[in-house]
Chains A and B, each alone.
Chain A
């Protein structure tokens, strides 16, 4: 009988856990014997603090696109690579933009020659013509700058030090303007963000509070603190929730983007 009762308890706690962790602090009025089940590593079922589900997210990420549509010429990195800020990642085949640069370079050369013709002071060469030739030459040089800036759009560069998480295009494929071609993320600095912390719990959460984070995949509990509470709510299945961000005191090895976590925010 006693043994059977012990069997029902894990079952009960499992069912309660299935209710969703928002209801957990309310529904957790366990029978006295419940403390015996504590050895189960299933998070913080009978805690006094605020409990929520969460997942791991990179501190910074960027889903990058081109501003021009053209075939991919070269993919210079692969998934998993560590890239430095400013490093080129993908180039497009844009002969039109490149040709425009060459054309502007030649025009600038011609402008320079024209100007040098008007430079010597002679009776049949009025100073205004020299000034005008100089202004025109200058104008052509500026057009060259525009052409170069346009051509620069055919390469994308890493905006910050990061890991290449996903590459969505290959050599020869057409990259559309605005379409995400590569995703970068700073995986060395992960944060934990809650997904279902209810509006009823948010008044008792404060920035700076300590938090215990149980990482299911790693079967590990790590400590952290609340660094951010979203000023605006989100709606999850009819519930009003506030994403709360927790910074880990130390990032455990093997923590990946999207891993599930359970968070207990304590005093």
Chain B
């Protein structure tokens, strides 16, 4: 019985240790340059950081005015062209306001026509003409507001997320659709320490290891952020690495490890 219990505990501890190893590769907040033990490989000092795969072109779209969604034309995964309508707000009021403004223009125009025929005086004619212009400007405003109720794709790409359904309320600025061009990805670091930044220059060679694909790819630094971000108390800068080739199977948000060789 005692022996059996022993076996049980061994099996249990083995199982638990299996848990521990899978949990291990969590993102470490900050990776800094390990100059300390670079005795053997003195020449090839490297800066590394965790990174994430993102599309070169991506947009987070929102309506500039509040309202209730009337139609949502796309769903996650759809491919769209620039200019395609993605979603619209209910425009019953805005459309009525356009017609109201347009009818006001007609009213002012009849006044101008009357003054011209009766030739009262120049001042009154000028004033009436100004009234027409004013009414026309009101039409332009109403039309511009109506146009804002339609969300169109500013770039071609794939719909990554849709966070609105028909009849749901949209606040101005609330992100409702995320869209990206999934044919061109780049790598952005998330924890590149400020200590390493002075060594980094645009154009430097970099190697990118994509964990999910278990493969390393070559690229180079195409941008270094001009302003820092703070991650868990550390000051980090976003370094953008462009890939020499676009590997198959890359997905938005995949984890990567970036190593940049100091020159």
Chain B residues lying within 8 Å of A184, measured Cβ to Cβ, are 167
User: Which residues from 17 to 46 on chain A have a C-beta closer than 8 Å to any C-beta of chain B?
Assistant: 18-20, 22-23, 26-27
Tell whether A199 is near chain B: CB-to-CB under 8 Å: yes
Given A149-B92, A199-B211, decide whether A16 and B18 contact each other with a Cβ distance below 8 A.
yes
CB of A135 within 8 A of CB of B167, answer: no
Residue of B26, B158, B251, B252 with highest tally of chain A CB at under 10 A: B251
Chain A residues lying within 8 Å of B95, measured Cβ to Cβ, are 149
Chain A residues lying within 8 Å of B16, measured Cβ to Cβ, are 15
Tell whether B27 is near chain A: CB-to-CB under 8 Å: yes
Tell whether A62 is near chain B: CB-to-CB under 8 Å: yes
Closest to A15 in B: B15
Please tell me which one of the listed residues B12, B159, B166 contacts residue A160 in the complex, with CB atoms under 8 A apart.
B166
Chain A residues lying within 8 Å of B12, measured Cβ to Cβ, are 11-12, 15
Closest to A239 in B: B26
User: Which residues from 133 to 175 on chain B have a C-beta closer than 8 Å to any C-beta of chain A?
Assistant: 158-161, 165-169, 171
Tell whether B117 is near chain A: CB-to-CB under 8 Å: yes
User: Which residues from 195 to 211 on chain B have a C-beta closer than 8 Å to any C-beta of chain A?
Assistant: 211
Given A65-B168, A128-B113, decide whether A232 and B107 contact each other with a Cβ distance below 8 A.
no
Given A65-B68, A135-B106, A136-B107, decide whether A230 and B254 contact each other with a Cβ distance below 8 A.
no
CB of B96 within 8 A of CB of A142, answer: yes
Interface residues on B, range: 35 or more
CB of B106 within 8 A of CB of A232, answer: no
CB of B110 within 8 A of CB of A128, answer: yes
Closest to A241 in B: B253
Whole-angstrom distance between the Cβ of B69 and the nearest chain A Cβ: 8
Residue of B99, B167, B213 with highest tally of chain A CB at under 10 A: B167
Tell whether A168 is near chain B: CB-to-CB under 8 Å: no
Tell whether B11 is near chain A: CB-to-CB under 8 Å: yes
User: Which residues from 2 to 23 on chain B have a C-beta closer than 8 Å to any C-beta of chain A?
Assistant: 4, 7-8, 11-12, 15-16, 18-19, 22-23
Chain B 31-56 near chain A by CB (<8 Å), digits 1 or 0: 00000000000000000000000000
Tell whether B62 is near chain A: CB-to-CB under 8 Å: no
Closest to A29 in B: B18
Chain B 79-101 near chain A by CB (<8 Å), digits 1 or 0: 00000000000001101110110
Whole-angstrom distance between the Cβ of B9 and the nearest chain A Cβ: 10
Chain B residues lying within 8 Å of A18, measured Cβ to Cβ, are 19
Complex-state Cα separation, A210 to B166, whole angstroms: 31
Given A27-B18, A146-B97, decide whether A232 and B114 contact each other with a Cβ distance below 8 A.
no
Whole-angstrom distance between the Cβ of A188 and the nearest chain B Cβ: 16
Tell whether B122 is near chain A: CB-to-CB under 8 Å: no
User: Which residues from 218 to 237 on chain B have a C-beta closer than 8 Å to any C-beta of chain A?
Assistant: none
Chain B residues lying within 8 Å of A189, measured Cβ to Cβ, are none
Tell whether B186 is near chain A: CB-to-CB under 8 Å: no
Chain A residues lying within 8 Å of B110, measured Cβ to Cβ, are 128, 131-132, 135
User: Which residues from 113 to 135 on chain B have a C-beta closer than 8 Å to any C-beta of chain A?
Assistant: 113-114, 117-118
Tell whether B103 is near chain A: CB-to-CB under 8 Å: yes
CB of A146 within 8 A of CB of B93, answer: yes
Complex-state Cα separation, A232 to B11, whole angstroms: 39
CB of A63 within 8 A of CB of B165, answer: yes
Residue of B19, B106, B253 with highest tally of chain A CB at under 10 A: B253
Chain B residues lying within 8 Å of A234, measured Cβ to Cβ, are 253
Whole-angstrom distance between the Cβ of B117 and the nearest chain A Cβ: 7
Please tell me which one of the listed residues B18, B99, B111 contacts residue A19 in the complex, with CB atoms under 8 A apart.
B18
Chain B residues lying within 8 Å of A132, measured Cβ to Cβ, are 107, 110-111, 114
CB of B100 within 8 A of CB of A143, answer: yes
Chain A 169-189 near chain B by CB (<8 Å), digits 1 or 0: 000000001101000100000
Complex-state Cα separation, A113 to B20, whole angstroms: 86
Tell whether A200 is near chain B: CB-to-CB under 8 Å: yes
Could you jot down 15 A-B contacts, CB within 8 Å? A8-B8, A15-B12, A26-B22, A128-B110, A138-B107, A141-B103, A145-B99, A149-B93, A150-B93, A157-B167, A178-B171, A199-B251, A228-B77, A231-B77, A231-B180
The 8 A-B pairs with the shortest beta carbon distances in the complex, nearest first, are A233-B253, A128-B114, A23-B22, A65-B169, A142-B100, A159-B166, A232-B160, A159-B167
Q: A8-B11, A149-B95 are in contact. List 4 more A-B contacts (CB 8 A).
A: A15-B12, A19-B19, A132-B110, A153-B93
Residues on A facing B (Cβ under 8 Å): 1, 4-5, 8, 11-12, 15-16, 18-20, 22-23, 26-27, 60-67, 126, 128-129, 131-132, 135-136, 138-139, 141-143, 145-146, 148-150, 152-153, 156-160, 177-178, 180, 184, 198-200, 202-203, 228-234, 238, 240, 242
